[in-house]
Structure 1
Amino acid sequence: MVGGEVGCRLYWLSVRMTMRLLVVETWHELEVECQYWPEDPYAVLLDFGTGRTEWILSREVLTAGLVGPAGEGDVHVEPADGGRVHVALGRGERVALLSLPADGLDRFLAETRELVPPGAEPGRIDWDLCIRELLSA
């Protein structure tokens, strides 16, 4: 786990996790960096290290997917056999199926909850900045 610190307070979280990607009925291992920034408290970023492929997922959906099916649209998360969690990204013919260790995801999400407890997310958002960005678009 990597995180930036100010004094003794962690202000971001980054964890590299070995995941499996299903390609033509064969699992391939890949390293994915899971990132969490308290300034964007609802989101978890998965960086696939290609410089072009990142997915932003809901922290709440990932948490719910540890215990049962969760998600709508392009992201679905659910527990799988062997202590794993499956994450389906995309729709129809263009779906990437990832398999990751449930205990690793659970530990990562626990760390995000240490940074921003559930229910405290709105207080971490810079609403003035959001409004300025909306008005400048």
Structure 2
Amino acid sequence: MPTPAVEQAVQARLVLSTRRSALLRVTLRYRADDPLAVRMLFPAEYSLDATGTEEQKGGAEVTWVFARQLLAAGLAGPAGIGDVHVRPALGPQTMVELRAAEGVALLRFDTADLRYFLRLSFLAVPEGEEHQHLDADRALAELLG
């Protein structure tokens, strides 16, 4: 039986300064076999790694993985304590801040796009039922690699 997955391409604005931003396409991804996480995939040219690896130069996407609950909480109020922070912004927008050793990226999304993605993810795996989709043996094998 295939694993339910949700994938949605959305537009985001990468905030470069108080007056400049760049429009980019971001892919949001959720997989039922990793029920606690969401993924944001960015085009390689938006990597925070100034040197850029050969893989990134060849067009590989940059992926950030964080808790689905963080994204949901950030739509209602400021959320996040580590590398990823999500908070409502003025109007129908949500800010996502990604922190890495190389720098900080601030992105602005339409809140409706994020809500739609979360709604689809909750249809795939309802909130509170994530534990029923966890495969602890597979997760441990991947971790120990």
Check whether TM > 0.5: yes
Counterpart residue type for residue 73 of structure 1: G
1:87 maps to which of 96, 105, 116? 96
Which structure shows the bigger proportion of residues in helix conformation?
Answer: 2
Q: Provide the aligned C-alpha RMSD in A.
A: 2.1
Percent identical across equivalent pairs? 36
1:16 matched to which residue of 2?
9
Among 51, 58, 76, which residue is 1:67 paired with? 76
Secondary structure, aligned partner of 2:76: coil
Question: What pairs with 1:44-63 in structure 2 (closer than 5 Å)?
Answer: 44-50=38-44, 51-63=60-72
Q: Distance in 2 between matches of 1:76 and 1:125?
A: 25
| Alignment map for 1:1-137 (pairs within 5 Å) | 11-25=4-18, 26-50=20-44, 51-90=60-99, 94-134=103-143, 136-137=144-145
Query: Is the CA contact 1:12–1:36 (under 8 Å) kept in the aligned structure 2?
Result: yes
Gaps of 5+ in 1: none
For 2:94 and 2:103, the matched residues in 1 are separated by 20
Given the two structures, how large is their TM-score scaled by the length of structure 1?
0.85
Structure of higher RCO (CA pairs closer than 8 Å, 6+ residues apart): 2
Are 1:39 and 1:126, in contact at CA under 8 Å, matched by a contact in 2?
A: yes
8 A Cα contact 1:33 1:49, kept in partner:
no
Which whole-Å CA distance do the structure 2 matches of 1:133 and 1:56 have between them? 15
2:109 maps to amino acid: L
Counterpart-to-counterpart distance in 2, 1:16 and 1:133: 27
Deviates more, 1:65-74 or 1:84-93: 84-93
Kindly report structure 1 stretches of 4+ aligned residues shifted beyond 6 Å.
Answer: none
**Counterparts of 1:33 and 1:64, CA distance in 2:** 20
Number of paired residues? 129
